[in-house]
Amino acid sequence: MSFRALVARKTASEPFSAGIETLDDYGLPGGEVVVRVAYSGLNFKDALAVTGGPPILRAFPIVPGIDFAGNVISSTSPRFKPSEPVMLTGWGHGEQLWGGFGERASTQAAHLLPLPSGLSLRDSMALGTAGLAAALCVQAIAERESRRDLPVLVTGAAGGVGGFAVALLAATGFRVAASTGRAELAPYLESLGASEIVPRAYLSAPGKPLDKERWSGVVDTVGGDVLGGALRGAAHRSVVAACGMAGGAELKGTVFPLILRGVRLQGIDTVLAAQEREAAWKLLAQKMPRAAMDAVAAEEIGLDEVVDASRRLLAGKVRGRIVVRISEGRADAESPRA
């Protein structure tokens, strides 16, 4: 059978290109499980990949898309049966392995998760890597509780990871300070659970090596100057969970927060986080409010729209997360959660 996919190509003699192609099933890379993809999601990394930005893609030709969810077509592994709803985030798919921006995907059984109870296929991709990153950050902060009288800061709160982090923190009992460079989005962030809005300029401005203790923890999706500013205000023995670089890859600041306050700067890996992954998805399925999920992932596009949407995302013109509709899934009934 044939299927449609967004394919990125590049050779020594041909420049980068990405477009919709019709492929044959026999062209799929080998894998234990073949999945009929129903939904994917558009992440910052995906947007870089399909527009030919920094070297995200490590093999060509390739189908980008680091997330996908759908139903099993065939499986040589006893772990999964035909028609079973499954999902995948990370593991190199959409970077060095073929990913989710196509109607078919193949992978190893160890890379898949059964669809979490309480989530539909669309729900799982509304959350996707962004939701997983948010949950891993919240878990890291909760494991080393600092001062509950201070809020947890979320930087880049208007993005997908940031929005989900705000909602999940609020739903699990934390006070939340949401940082954004778009003041007009304050009502949206407050609807997700933020009790305070922090202008991005406050964090990115030069400051002392140590500021007053303001944050009982930090979810940083931005990097660069903003991460440096967040570290300066982190409270004693708090966790600063770093999971993004939308504002720059540089780490700016001093070691003073680390050695004088015992602040832990913890990197969050969503690609190979095998042990923490199932617990994070359980947290999302049980605690992420339905209204917040729908608000953060309000936009849905088709496969043909991925490249244009990627340009909007990189230009900072997207609020929250974009769901990519690939084909219709069999297990996509509405979740029963409130």
pLDDT-wise least confident of 1-5, 12-16, 331-335 = 331-335
Domain check: are 56 and 175 in the same one? no
316 in a domain, yes or no?
yes
Is the pLDDT reported for residue 337 higher than 60? no
Is the pLDDT reported for residue 304 higher than 90? yes
Contact 116, 124 (CB under 8 A): yes
We report the CATH number of the domain holding residue 184 as 3.40.50.720
pLDDT-wise least confident of 44-53, 85-94, 267-276 = 267-276
Show which of 267, 289, 309 is a domain's final residue.
267
Domain check: are 220 and 308 in the same one? no
Specify the amino acid at residue 98: W
Domain check: are 24 and 95 in the same one? yes
Domain check: are 167 and 110 in the same one? no
167 in a domain, yes or no?
yes
180 in a domain, yes or no?
yes
Q: Quick one: pLDDT band at residue 332, thresholds 50, 70, 90?
A: low
pLDDT of residue 328: 64
We report the CATH number of the domain holding residue 106 as 3.90.180.10
Domain check: are 196 and 109 in the same one? no
Find out whether the peptide bond into 116 is cis, omega within 30 degrees of 0: no
| Range of the structural domain that residue 42 is part of | 2-115+298-325
pLDDT of residue 338: 44
Domain check: are 68 and 141 in the same one? no
285 in a domain, yes or no?
no
215 in a domain, yes or no?
yes
CA distance 267 to 189: 24
CA distance 105 to 37: 7
Domain check: are 260 and 153 in the same one? yes
Give the chain's domain count: 2
pLDDT of residue 333: 43
120 in a domain, yes or no?
no
Domain check: are 100 and 155 in the same one? no
Instruction: Kindly tell me the number of DSSP H helices and DSSP E strands found in the chain.
Output: 10, 17
pLDDT in tens, 146-196: 788 999 999 999 999 999 999 999 999 999 999 999 999 999 999 999 999
Domain check: are 81 and 199 in the same one? no
Which residues sit opposite 43 in a β-bridge? Answer: none
CA distance 270 to 227: 19
Is the pLDDT reported for residue 270 higher than 80? yes
Is the pLDDT reported for residue 47 higher than 80? yes
Specify the amino acid at residue 77: S
CA distance 134 to 319: 16
Contact 121, 331 (CB under 8 A): yes
pLDDT in tens, 204-233: 999 899 999 999 999 999 999 999 999 999
More confident residue, 106 or 145: 106
Chain-wide mean pLDDT for the chain?
93
Domain check: are 133 and 109 in the same one? no
Show which of 267, 283, 310 is a domain's final residue.
267
310 in a domain, yes or no?
yes
Domain check: are 96 and 148 in the same one? no
Domain check: are 79 and 177 in the same one? no
